[in-house]
Amino acid sequence: MNVQTSAARDRQSWGAHIWATLALGLPLVGTQIAQIAIATTDVVMLGWYGTEELASAVLGSQAFFVVFIFGSGFANAILPLAAQAEGRNDPTHVRRSVRMGMWILLLYATVVMPFLWHLEPALIALGQKPDLAALASDYIRIAQWGMFPAVMMMALRCFFAARSRAAIVLWSALLGAMVNGVLNYGLIFGHFGMPEMGVRGAAIASVFSSTVIFLIMAGWALWHPRHQEYRLFQRFWRPEWPAFFEVFRLGLPIGLTILAETGLFLAASLMMGWLGTIHLAAHGIAIQLASISFMIPLGLSNAATVRVGQAYGRGDKPGLARAAHTVMALAAVLSLSAAALFWLLPEPLISLFLDEANVDAAELLAVAVPLLLVAAAFQVVDGIQVVGAGLLRGIKDTRIPMIMAVISYWPIGLSAAYGLGFGLGLGGPGIWAGLAVGLGVAAVLLNLRFARRHRFLDVA
């Protein structure tokens, strides 16, 4: 009766959709912002510490992020499966999807450890300066141990989101961000009686904060009365092979899609490294600001997957359409607002990452400002494309969107970045303009596909 009442309300009221989307989406957005605050704190404090340390952390943290984000595709596969099961009021399948997703994520974290350990020779082979590559290796050999709590944290985040109970995700992320900030300040600079460790201190802080977040979320799933019936960790060792392969089948193209986009930005970082240390450090600041802004549509994308998945699970096609239109409109408005902020306040925003006593501060500011102006231009298309991908995941459509994304980001986006940056001699702004081209093409293709799939979708 409750499901039927909810479905009827969703078909009749745009206001109900807006409220439900915000109630789920705002904690997820806040969680994404709190999570990126951990990386942002690293960038800010290492920017105060030194230019080479900042540049090396950009390389190390982005390498970690690329590996992590591919694995998060398997976590994101949990989201539509669990959301559809929740829409059917099927706690057993919710548990199976989440548990087998955790199995896959733990296996993945184990497999990628050797790659991260040997990052230094890979960076040198890709044209990075040996001293920067060595510092990046110092960072990643500590930070890589945070892969285990990070991927498990993603699985639990999807569980809570699928159940529309995302508040704990936000509060745990906020606490983790605060812990990271305190440890960064102590371990990078040697305050609070802690040793001065530079980039190594930033890595230790990140590992510790990720562990704190995971433990809080796991404890909440175990002991809160609302979640105890799902028994996520009961007989955790017991395999559920159909669910295992369903998560893997859905998650692999999601991971490849996310990897294609993240890899595009990593390639941009490498190209900025070819321009010099100052350009790479400036790129690190601008990309961090763009990443903070991107957390808003990314959180809404997760909300889109849940809302569409729940409507699909309960057979509510009108509710599915309204959920999609609502989240897309919210994402467009918020992305436009972020773009306006970048256009109006580029220098104050960038200055937050700089110490005026740093001899390179003025040059860093001069290089970073044009990048942020270009970033403003692709905030909207980036938001639209990530929400489009989230909508498609809600109906378990991942293989063709993966192909669309890979073509948009690499043959189109990367070629445009290299051609504008080096072929036309536009440097950093040209590289970033190429990124915008790839994201724009992806936005068009993914949303056209969702419109077509929805038109012929059978949810009965």
pLDDT above 90 (res 187) = yes
Where is pLDDT greater, at 98 or 24?
98
pLDDT in tens, 9-39: 445 577 777 777 877 777 877 777 777 777 7
State how many domains the chain has.
Answer: 1
Mean pLDDT, range 271-278, rounded to an integer: 86
b/e 279-302 (16+ beta carbons within 10 angstroms → b)? bbbbbbbbbbbbbbbbbbbbbbbb
Share of the chain above pLDDT 90, in %: 31
pLDDT in tens, 221-269: 988 888 888 888 888 888 889 999 999 999 999 888 888 887 888 788 8
DSSP structural state of residue 284? H
| Confidence tier at 216 by pLDDT (50, 70, 90) | very high
**Cβ proximity of 130 and 124 under 8 Å:** yes
pLDDT in tens, 406-426: 999 999 999 999 999 999 989
Give the separation between CA 135 and CA 128, rounded to whole angstroms.
11
Which tokens sit at 366? 């001069």
Where is pLDDT greater, at 443 or 232?
443
pLDDT in tens, 315-364: 878 888 888 899 999 888 988 998 899 999 888 888 887 766 665 778 88
**Can you give the length of the chain in residues?**
460
Determine, yes or no, domain membership for 460: no
Determine, yes or no, domain membership for 318: yes
Query: Average model confidence (pLDDT) for the chain?
Result: 86
pTM over 0.85: no
**Cβ proximity of 342 and 257 under 8 Å:** no
Give the separation between CA 38 and CA 218, rounded to whole angstroms.
20
Determine, yes or no, domain membership for 211: yes
Mean pLDDT, range 170-189, rounded to an integer: 91
Q: In which domain, by residue range, is 156 found?
A: 2-455
